[in-house]
Amino acid sequence: MRKIIVLEHISLDGVIQAPGGPDEDTSGGFAYGGWIAHYSDAVLGALLRRQMNLPFDLLLGRTTFDIWEPYWPQHGDVWPGANAATKYVASNTRTSSNWQPSVFLNGDVAEKVAKIKQQQGPDLHVWGSGHLVQTLMKHDLVDVFWLMIYPITLGGGKRLFASGAIPMLFKVTESHVTPNGVIVVNYERAGAIPTGR
């Protein structure tokens, strides 16, 4: 069975909106696009490259796909895996793309993703895709959170656990603190939640 791994740049107050650039996602009047740039260092870069070079397919929301679609085909030297991966895209408005291979999922996305998880193939990496991540969590489809937690609060914006979370127990399987204070941590599912006596 394939795992779904959610990979997110996240602020201390849980914001995942527009980490990469000022025009990435200004919805809701978000004015802090590109908030991760100050924290880049060699350690974070090495951890990101290692993660990006694992075998994977991509599971993306339409907005993230729309941002990536014109960019990554032109930057295959930086991340060749993004172009080679099958890109499963949750969208009720799009059905095709020149960025191949791409498969568009409409209708009951959770049901379709659950079936994809059962197929043979590499793990499914979800970058960004805030609305899709909410759906995946609501239907208990996330196996791993690979988070880069930045020492910054943004006060508002789209949050990782925007609509709460269903009870899940995780264990830390790897963690690092970069010289610029970013905590990179891997949380894997760890069974039922224990309760007090």
**CATH number for position 148:** 3.40.430.10
The pLDDT of residue 36: 98
| Distance between CA atoms of residues 39 and 178, nearest Å | 9
Residue 194 within any structural domain of the chain:
no
Q: Return the C-alpha torsion angle 141, 24, 37, 70, nearest 10.
A: 90
Q: What is the pLDDT of residue 162?
A: 86
Which residue segment(s) compose the domain that 36 sits in?
Answer: 4-189
197 within a domain of the structure (yes/no):
no
Q: What is the pLDDT of residue 163?
A: 77
Per-residue pLDDT at 100? 97
Instruction: Determine the pLDDT at residue 168.
Output: 84
| pLDDT, position 104 | 98
Quick check: is 123 in a domain? yes
Residue 197: burial class (beta carbons within 10 Å; 0-12, 13-18, 19+): exposed
| Contact assessment for residue 101 and residue 73, using Cβ atoms and an 8 Å cutoff | no
Residue 175 falls inside a structural domain = yes
> 196 lies in a domain?
no
pTM of the model as a whole: 0.94
- Across 77-116, b (16+ Cβ under 10 Å) vs e yields eebebbeebbbbbbbeeeeebebeebebbeeebbeebeeb
Angstrom CA distances, 171 to 11, 38, 56, 124, 146, stand at: 20, 29, 22, 20, 12
Flag whether 104 is in a domain.
Answer: yes
Q: Which residues contact 39 (CB under 8 A, 6 or more apart)?
A: 150, 151, 152, 178, 180, 181, 182
Q: Which stretches of the chain drop beneath a pLDDT of 70?
A: 197
Task: Tell me, yes or no, whether 195 lies in a domain.
Answer: no
Domain count, the chain: 1
Residue 143's pLDDT is 96
pLDDT for res 167: 85
Among all chains, which residue has been given the structure tokens 């609305």?
131
Answer whether residue 139 is part of any domain.
yes
Q: What is the model's pLDDT at position 193?
A: 85
